[in-house]
Amino acid sequence: MKGKIKFKGGIQSYLITPFLVTFVLFGIDIPLYFIDKRAGALVTVCAIVYFGMTLVRYKNSKSRVMTELVDFATEFATVQKRLLDEFDVPYALLDFNGKILWVNQKFGDIAGIDKKYHKSITTIFPTITKEFLQKAEKSGEVKVDKEDRKLKITLDRIYFNQITEKSEFVDASDSAEFLTAVYVYDETELQHYKNENVEQKLVSALVYIDNYEEALESIEDVQRSLLTALIDRKVNNYFREYDALVRKIEKDKYFLVFKYKYLKKLEEDKFSVIEDVKTIKVGNEMAVTLSIGVGMRDNNYNHNYEYARAAIDLALGRGGDQVVVKEGENISYYGGKRQQVEKNTRVKARVKAHALREIMEGVNNIVIMGHSLTDIDSLGAGIGIYCAAKAIGKKAQICINSPSTSVRPLMDTFKPDYGYPDDLFIDSEAAIDATNENTMVMVVDTNKPSYVECPEILKMTNTIVVFDHHRQGKEVITNPLLSYIEPYASSACEMVAEVLQYFAEGLKLTSVEAECIYAGIIIDTNNFMTKAGVKTFEAAAYLKRSGVEVAHVRKMLRNDMEAYKARAESVRQAEVYRDVFAISICPSENLESPTVVAAQAANELLNIIGIKATFVLTAYKDKIYISARSIDEINVQLIMEKLGGGGHLNVAGAQLAEVSIIDAKKIILKTIDEMLKEGEINS
């Protein structure tokens, strides 16, 4: 039996409306019979005639309406198809495996195909693979480059179970397959304007002459103006090539503004002006060096300038003779490959000493801490600050967690039996209890908050002082009240010894205090063989006058037999890489302080002819510690920075977590290869 076609919705309402009018007429007719029967009969006859005419019209027009609806639907579908085919946005339809089912004219033009092309979409856009389509989300975007055009491709899934939900012919309710609708947007022009907008942004920069006064003092008076003019010329000529506005704001400082599009070119050139300016010779004994800070954040010029200030401070904090580019939170370094020239002036140390005393006098107590795994330099610097606090009657405590065998002999000389407080050395828990808003936290021998013995107390007070001799990196202690960072200093103990001489009149060190500070200098300079400058020997002389017994210090720094054997084994198993790099693994079994032994082994390997840099790895407390050393030709600090560490040109280190010691060794070798390829280091 054939089912009858029934109309629904608006069409049905339109067709039955005349029938509803008939019922209205009958409803009006009933009251008329009570008024006038002849009029009621007349209306009844008219209503019956109207109903009959309506019924005949409905039956005759139903098939015609259906025919016209079908014709309209067909024509409408044809119009839709034509509109889709001529749609200004390139459009294509893919099957479940990525095969092209249908494309419109615009898609064919942009992809260079015709409507008969039914191959995989991967043949046109290699990044859109079958696996990508089937693993991607319901909808997504892909950026591709095709023939110098920037295309954004939007993908949208059309599931079969949705298409056939009301179909009488196909049942795909249990199918997970789908079609993929592909829309392609040509963003070439848009990206061009976006890039052009970015390239027109202004970048701020500051250029400082590091050793202006020292360079002028090394030449005759008549040549000083010539030296200054040559420096100005070098700086102006270099940056003029990049359309930069250069203004000299002080005798040794310049302010620059240039477009962002030139920043990449400057970085590719590695800011060669810092090397070019060193060639200026008019009788000056020392080479002139520059520090450059470049700042870029957004369209706010004040923000850019503040970033430039932060960048130049970081460049100076790392020893100068380098460029720091601070673009938002990203920081890049250029230069800084040579040993910094030590400044002989003591003005800075005297100023820092007076500032340190003023801060100490304004607090109730002082908590001193160095880096985790406290070494002798960190301990000696802490003892020096304790002596300064004791001289002005302030309580000071040193935070050390789990002291190693290398520092324990020195710590034993500061027991209550020798007149020192029993709470001189405390752990992190006690340090937290001792710290409040009126406490000064003194950080020595590190400037990274994650490296200190107790990071929690850095957030418990605003009175923070940092004394360190390591170059600054991305991670720094924020907002210290006083920061004294001198990368050219040999050790933190040297810095503290220099400050103690200006801290207070009549400040005297006991022999054990002087020996502890002296031991820190000895260790960090490898018996005055590394980074030992004029100030290093002056600090040593000051400590010697305070009662240092060199033989006694040497006895305290001796290793036990197990440590000596481990160091010898590290040297024996060392491998030579690329003829100039020595790399070895230090055994950590039965060693309480394997990191110290690894550092000693790295120093020993430098005594081998032809070796320019050494790397010794050791496993300790679920981390791999790397000690890197060099003499003068290779900057190991740059290598360690790539691994998240730091240090100095000749002495550096890093820590790697969640890797095996073999993998850590491979990472070092890979880093060396990459830096040699990029020219960042030379073998």
Do 493 and 352 lie in one domain? The reply is yes
Q: Is 351 inside a domain boundary?
A: yes
Do 481 and 574 lie in one domain? The reply is no
Range among 27-31, 188-192, 425-429 rated most confident:
425-429
Do 548 and 525 lie in one domain? The reply is yes
**pLDDT in the model for residue 420:** 94
pTM of the predicted model as reported, rounded to 2 decimal places: 0.62
Q: Is 340 inside a domain boundary?
A: no
**pLDDT in the model for residue 404:** 84
Q: Is 23 inside a domain boundary?
A: yes
**pLDDT in the model for residue 23:** 77
- Average pLDDT estimate for 517-534: 90
Q: Is 4 inside a domain boundary?
A: no
pLDDT classification of 506: cutoffs 50, 70, 90: confident
Q: Which residue has the tokens 């004219």?
A: 105
Q: Where are the beta strands (DSSP E) in 148-252?
A: 149-159, 178-186, 202-209, 245-250
Instruction: State the CATH number of the domain containing residue 150.
Output: 3.30.450.20
- Chain segment 426-483, per-residue pLDDT in tens: 999 999 999 999 999 999 999 999 989 999 999 999 999 999 988 777 788 988 999 9
Range among 52-61, 260-269, 295-304 rated most confident:
260-269
With a cut of 90, say whether residue 193 has pLDDT above it.
Answer: no
Do 361 and 499 lie in one domain? The reply is yes
With a cut of 50, say whether residue 401 has pLDDT above it.
Answer: yes
Do 418 and 470 lie in one domain? The reply is yes
Q: Helices in 483-560 by DSSP H: which ranges?
A: 492-503, 511-525, 534-545, 550-556
With a cut of 70, say whether residue 342 has pLDDT above it.
Answer: no
With a cut of 50, say whether residue 44 has pLDDT above it.
Answer: yes
Report how far residue 603's alpha carbon sits from residue 613's, in angstroms, rounded to the nearest whole number.
10
Report how far residue 154's alpha carbon sits from residue 424's, in angstroms, rounded to the nearest whole number.
66
Could you say which of 195, 222, 245 is where a domain stops? 195
**pLDDT in the model for residue 168:** 45
The residue that leads in pLDDT, 284 or 433, is 433
- Average pLDDT estimate for 662-673: 95
Contact status, residue 600 vs residue 633, Cβ threshold 8 Å: no
Closest among 380, 370, 399 to 548, alpha carbons compared: 380
Q: Is 342 inside a domain boundary?
A: no
- Average pLDDT estimate for 251-272: 92
Do 269 and 307 lie in one domain? The reply is yes
Do 528 and 461 lie in one domain? The reply is yes
Contact status, residue 467 vs residue 484, Cβ threshold 8 Å: yes
Q: Is 1 inside a domain boundary?
A: no
Report how far residue 28's alpha carbon sits from residue 40's, in angstroms, rounded to the nearest whole number.
9
- Proportion of the chain above pLDDT 70, given as a percent: 89
Retrieve residue 46's tokens: 């008219």
Q: Is 261 inside a domain boundary?
A: yes
pLDDT classification of 136: cutoffs 50, 70, 90: low
Rg (CA), the chain: 41
Which residues is 439 bridged to in the sheet? Answer: 365
The sign of the CA dihedral 56, 59, 60, 62 is positive
With a cut of 90, say whether residue 139 has pLDDT above it.
Answer: no
Q: Is 510 inside a domain boundary?
A: yes
With a cut of 90, say whether residue 131 has pLDDT above it.
Answer: no
Range among 134-143, 336-345, 585-594 rated most confident:
585-594
Phi first, then psi: give them for residue 323, nearest 5 degrees: -120, 135
Range among 215-229, 315-329, 359-373, 552-566 rated most confident:
359-373
Retrieve residue 202's tokens: 């202004």
pLDDT classification of 176: cutoffs 50, 70, 90: low
Do 543 and 614 lie in one domain? The reply is no
Q: Which of 24-38, 245-259, 268-282, 619-633 has the lowest mean pLDDT?
A: 24-38
Instruction: State the CATH number of the domain containing residue 407.
Output: 3.90.1640.10
**pLDDT in the model for residue 424:** 96
Do 586 and 549 lie in one domain? The reply is no
- Average pLDDT estimate for 632-659: 88
- Proportion of the chain above pLDDT 90, given as a percent: 44
**pLDDT in the model for residue 1:** 41
With a cut of 60, say whether residue 291 has pLDDT above it.
Answer: yes
**pLDDT in the model for residue 171:** 46
Report how far residue 260's alpha carbon sits from residue 170's, in angstroms, rounded to the nearest whole number.
59
Do 39 and 184 lie in one domain? The reply is no
Q: What is the mean pLDDT of the chain?
A: 86
With a cut of 50, say whether residue 3 has pLDDT above it.
Answer: no
The residue that leads in pLDDT, 112 or 257, is 257
The residue that leads in pLDDT, 39 or 428, is 428
Could you say which of 127, 161, 195 is where a domain stops? 195
Do 308 and 448 lie in one domain? The reply is no
Do 295 and 174 lie in one domain? The reply is no
Number of structural domains (the chain) is: 5
With a cut of 90, say whether residue 645 has pLDDT above it.
Answer: no
Domain that holds residue 212: 200-335
Instruction: State the CATH number of the domain containing residue 248.
Output: 3.30.70.270
Report how far residue 480's alpha carbon sits from residue 363's, in angstroms, rounded to the nearest whole number.
15
pLDDT classification of 12: cutoffs 50, 70, 90: low
With a cut of 80, say whether residue 5 has pLDDT above it.
Answer: no
Could you say which of 195, 212, 243 is where a domain stops? 195
